Amino acid sequence: MKSFFRIISIFGFLLVPILVLAVPGIPHQFYGTVKYTNGNSVSGTVNAKIGGTVIATATISDGRYGYSPIFYIPDPDGVRSGSTISFFIDNVDTGETAQFTNGGYTKLDLTIPSPTLPPEIVAPTANPVAGTYTSTQNVILTAAGSSSIRYTTDGTTSPTCSSGTVYSGAISVNSSQTIKAIACYPDGASSSVSSFAYTINLPPNASPTASPIAGTYTSAQSVTLTATGASSIHYTIDGTVPTCTSGLVYSNPIIVTSTKTIKALSCYPNSNVSPVATFNYILSLVDGTTANVVLSSGTTGQAELPSGATTIKLSNSTNLDVSTSVSTASSGNINVGGITKPLNNFTIGNLSGVDLTASQNIGGQSLVVNKAVVLRSGVDTQPISLINNDLANISVTIPDATTVLAPSGWDGKINPPKTGSSSGTAPSGFSVGGTVIEVGSATSILLFDKPVAIVLTGVTGNVGYKPAGSSVWVQITNVCGGTYNSPAAPNFPGECYISNGADTKIYTYHFTTFGSLSVISAPTPAPSGGVGESPTPTYKTGDINKDNKVNKYDFALLMANWGKTGTNTADLNNDNKVDKYDFAILMANWSAV
């Protein structure tokens, strides 16, 4: 009997470990295709992971996995049911997941991003191709995908991506030469050097050639004239035809700062003369950074930019001079663009029936119109941009065919926007801010028959102006209707402003001094000590709830009163209506605290 119990005890001892051993679960089978996003098949290995650990792999064959051999994900401990499996191609996450199911059978197609191929490195090509020619050739270099091309023309020096001339436009080849070029690619890659040999056999008495070639440019050009074998080159820039005894004798490059036509001929020994060559250079920019830009025209009372020009670039020391085209009033009339207009019923541009014999009031300064001139762009309907090379953050735009109206003392000169003086008396509650510009004339207020736009870059708050001849600043409270890019015109001769959240545009019928205005924080009243009354505090514009901040609580009050008319604390511009203009004032003074 004792032996029996001993056997039973031994059997029980051996049975306990067997009962606690884990039972494996049934595997989950997966299969499917593996492709790039461009549809191409992928090769490599599918890695299945749980919690970042690889638990099974499958080899990809012909863009498929799990077909042969079958891909099973095991469950050795019987605990994987419901676990999330992530699928990778090698180390690239496919973004696909699946839930482990014992005995599962799942088709799961996998996709990974297509690989980015490096750019193909190609050497430059030339058009026209290298060869022999009987005329000057304008050679264009190209290399698909390159970031730049560099070249040499001496025939011996090979360029590199850090030496040689950077290609920017057609190369004028007027004599035999060899161009060597290299294409430079991102990440420091470069092509082999291409070599293009051109033989130029110009016929006798060839006309001059010009470099750079004639065309349209956005900056001043230095034009070089050449004629192989010629004794001299004669040219004109006034439209007349040169001869070997007239015109200017070419000796140095011709500086073209505005639209110009160069006519040139070559003079050879034995009195041989070439045909006249014509080179038309159109500049969209008139460069007046070193000398005044003088504009005139054949039409009385009108000044015109050169054909194709829409921008005038001046400097702190130069101006736009239209004095020879300015008309002066006579017997109550004035000539504007060749048309005589009565000043007491003046209709042109945005003005209709305005009496200009009456004094015009600009910020408390009176102006009587006695002079006028029309400014015409070099491209019909395109506005004129007036910029200062010495002042980067200010731009002025004048519509095409705008009439300048001025008092008798105006000298016919328009200054570009310049840094102005903040001196003078600021509006109540404000000080003059850090951006102040003076434009037009320091001594005369200039009016226009169409509003002009002045952009103050980086200014988003209050703005104002100080008329010429005055020391008092005036706050501009009128917010422009319309949009920032297309504001509605204010009433003549006034102004309005509008902001896009980063810059402020002043839309105005006059040129004076303009600037930003900074709100002066209201001082904390001193205790009265029981004697007399405390001073009335001053609050920032837009501070509807009078907590010395312009923030979300003022915005809430504005919204609560939206659309209401009559006297209202949310009516910030005092037009008896709470609307978008009050919202614009609130945003312009937002303190976000």
At 4, the pLDDT band (50, 70, 90 cuts) reads: very low
Length of the chain in terms of residues written? 593
Bridge partners, 216 (sequence order): 282
Clarify whether residues 252 and 364 are in a common domain: no
In this prediction, residues 11-38 reach a mean pLDDT of 73
Task: Say how far residue 342 (Cα) sits from the centre of its chain.
Answer: 43
Buried b (16+ CB within 10 A) or exposed e, 227-266: beebeebbbbbeeeebebeebeebeeebebbbbbbbbbbb
Clarify whether residues 388 and 478 are in a common domain: yes
For residues 277 and 262, give the distance between their C-alpha atoms in angstroms, rounded to a whole number.
8
* φ, ψ of residue 572 in degrees (nearest 5): -75, -25
Position 535 scores a pLDDT of: 56
For residues 214 and 437, give the distance between their C-alpha atoms in angstroms, rounded to a whole number.
38
> Any idea which residue has 């000044």 for tokens?
303
* φ, ψ of residue 416 in degrees (nearest 5): -70, 170
In this prediction, residues 192-208 reach a mean pLDDT of 89
- 114 has pLDDT over 70: yes
- 7 has pLDDT over 80: no
**59: domain CATH number?**
2.60.40.10
Count of other CB atoms within 10 angstroms of residue 167 = 23
Position 321 scores a pLDDT of: 96
Clarify whether residues 196 and 224 are in a common domain: no
CB of 242 closer than 8 Å to CB of 309: no
Clarify whether residues 458 and 326 are in a common domain: yes
Inside any domain, residue 343? yes
Position 575 scores a pLDDT of: 75
> Could you give the angle at which helices 552-560 and 580-588 cross, rounded to 10 degrees?
170
Most confident of 36-40, 214-218, 338-342: 338-342
Per the structure block, which two tokens stand in for 90?
């090698």
Number of domains forming the structure of the chain? 5
For residues 65 and 29, give the distance between their C-alpha atoms in angstroms, rounded to a whole number.
11
pLDDT of 304-363, one tens digit each?
Answer: 998 888 999 999 999 999 999 999 999 999 999 999 999 999 999 999 999 999 999 999
| Largest separation between any pair of C-alpha atoms in the chain | 149
For residues 116 and 69, give the distance between their C-alpha atoms in angstroms, rounded to a whole number.
31
Count of other CB atoms within 10 angstroms of residue 304 = 18
At 372, the pLDDT band (50, 70, 90 cuts) reads: very high
- Which of 87, 112, 137 represents a domain boundary (last residue)? 112
At 17, the pLDDT band (50, 70, 90 cuts) reads: very low
Clarify whether residues 402 and 490 are in a common domain: yes
Candidates 459, 439, 455, 585; CA nearest to 516 is 459
Inside any domain, residue 69? yes
At 581, the pLDDT band (50, 70, 90 cuts) reads: confident
For residues 316 and 217, give the distance between their C-alpha atoms in angstroms, rounded to a whole number.
24
Q: Which amino acid is at 587?
A: M
Position 525 scores a pLDDT of: 55
In this prediction, residues 80-94 reach a mean pLDDT of 94
Residues 462, 468, 469: CA angle, nearest 5 degrees: 120
Inside any domain, residue 438? yes
Inside any domain, residue 140? yes
- Which of 283, 308, 335 represents a domain boundary (last residue)? 283
pLDDT of 155-171, one tens digit each?
Answer: 889 999 999 999 999 99
CB of 74 closer than 8 Å to CB of 87: no
Inside any domain, residue 73? yes
Per the structure block, which two tokens stand in for 164?
């040689």
If you average pLDDT over every residue of the chain, what do you get?
Answer: 88
Clarify whether residues 438 and 571 are in a common domain: no
- 10 has pLDDT over 50: no
Clarify whether residues 64 and 155 are in a common domain: no
Clarify whether residues 420 and 567 are in a common domain: no
Inside any domain, residue 9? no
pLDDT of 287-303, one tens digit each?
Answer: 899 999 999 999 999 99
Residues 96, 97, 102: CA angle, nearest 5 degrees: 140
Candidates 229, 228, 412, 413; CA nearest to 319 is 413
At residue 18, the 3 state secondary structure works out as helix
Task: Say how far residue 114 (Cα) sits from the centre of its chain.
Answer: 34
- Which of 224, 258, 283 represents a domain boundary (last residue)? 283
Clarify whether residues 99 and 196 are in a common domain: no
Clarify whether residues 50 and 183 are in a common domain: no
For residues 65 and 59, give the distance between their C-alpha atoms in angstroms, rounded to a whole number.
6
- 5 has pLDDT over 50: no
Position 524 scores a pLDDT of: 54
Inside any domain, residue 208? no
Clarify whether residues 445 and 570 are in a common domain: no
Give me the domain span that covers residue 139. Answer: 125-200
Residue 221, burial from CB neighbour count under 10 angstroms (0-12, 13-18, 19+) = buried
Per the structure block, which two tokens stand in for 329?
């009033």
> H or E segment at 588?
helix 580-588
Could you tell me what percentage of the chain is helix, strand and coil, using 3-state DSSP and rounding each to the nearest 5?
10, 45, 50
Per the structure block, which two tokens stand in for 434?
């850090």
- 538 has pLDDT over 60: yes
Clarify whether residues 385 and 513 are in a common domain: yes
